Amino acid sequence: MKENTEVLLYGLLDAGEGKEIQQFVLNSDGTLSPMRAPDLIWGWEPPAIKKARMDLVSEFVVKHAGWPPEVTPSSCKTNELKGGGSPLTEIIYTVESPNEEVTPSKVVLKRYVDKPLRNRRLVAASNAFSRVGGSPTIIASTDNWVIEPFAGQKPEFSPETWMRRMADLAARLHTAPTDWFDSWQEEMRQKYPCLQNVPVGSLIWSCVAYHDGNLERYTAEDMEQLSTAIPMPLSKSGGEVVSTHGDLHKGNTLLTPADVLVAVDFEHSCVSQVRQDLLYNSWERGLNRRILCTAYLKTRGLPCSEREVDLLAVDIIVAAVVYFRLLRGLLFPKEAGGDRMEMKQALSELNKLTPAVQGLKDDLEGCARVVDKTDVRKCMGNIDLLVDLCTKSWF
């Protein structure tokens, strides 16, 4: 088969009423672009065509992963991964060499959507984190694809173990230098003047890193007001500016054969605050929140008194509500789950929340109440629930 040639495949019609020949175009990267009829709901790829497509993918990997030329593409075991991918990742393959002496003998090929600026940041973050043992090492990359070793499997832990392992992973990631983010941040400020006054380390950067579709509607004054209105962290560690994964939850981790938990999928990666990477664990109950924060502080060699643990736990709870309810509601377009919040409403809610949170600084009982009682998901729907927990002692 030649590149850009039309290949005839069968397609199953709606309600299974028959079959009709459909045309697919074979692309130069081994993917097929379907030319589907309006009523075609499912396409069937014959085994011979799929094998030819997988061989093209294998050939690409053999060439770019530095495998020896005696590894023939047709002898590789190549699979297309289904489900769980980011909408910003076009397709993912695993390719395994029949020669186990090849290192690494199994790799992952990821193709990204055509956004070179975003992809350069993603690759830079992955390289920075791999140097501190927080992610797989990139073997080869360009602006729209990367090849990296197959790191391992999705882990399964008890809730308490998850908290400790995630704390250890976050602590490793946060030792990475932050200079990899500088050039991307400057390019974004040039592209979107509204970001000129957004400070380094703001929680806003993780949203902007993932999706910039709504930025043109805001002014520099809007974004500066938003940055200023976000509650400051209460703990010494929560506001530390570090390199962050930005989307650090269980689904974005893998467990290596050496029992090391590593992070993958860096679409949200940026330089932000410690609380950005811990906020996904805020849905846990109070005990697990404390296990997470204690383990993180101990791993970093930071003070971990009862007060500091609860202050950090409050920080990640507040950050989660602000991030998911307000920032994503403002900065993500509708198709990405955003566009459900106006700036005026967001600032009004932050003006209620911020003094309530700051009032907890010297209120150990109030902090404990927030850590023990907050249902983050409910507060994402109604921020007044969090304001009440911060200010009233009768819960």
For 8-17, the pLDDT digits (tens) are: 444 443 444 4
Query: What distance separates the 2 farthest-apart alpha carbons in the chain?
Result: 73
Task: Report, as an integer, the average pLDDT of 15-43.
Answer: 52
Domain 159-391 has CATH 2.60.120.260: no
Which of the pair, 1 or 44, is modelled with greater confidence?
44
Contacts 24+ apart (CB under 8 A), 325-328: 325/349, 325/379, 325/380, 325/381, 325/383, 326/350, 326/383, 327/203, 327/204, 327/207, 328/207
Beta pairing class for 145-149 and 106-112: antiparallel
Residue 304: pLDDT band with limits 50, 70, 90: very high
The answer to whether the beta carbons of residues 292 and 266 sit under 8 Å apart is no
Give the model's confidence band at 317: pLDDT under 50 very low, under 70 low, under 90 confident, else very high: very high
- CATH class of the 64-149 domain in this structure: alpha beta
Mean pLDDT of the chain: 87
User: Look-up: residue for tokens 């090391």?
Assistant: 260
66 pLDDT higher than 80: yes
The model's pTM is 0.85
Domain segments of the chain as ranges: 1-45, 64-149, 159-391
Q: Which residues pair with 91 in a beta bridge?
A: 111
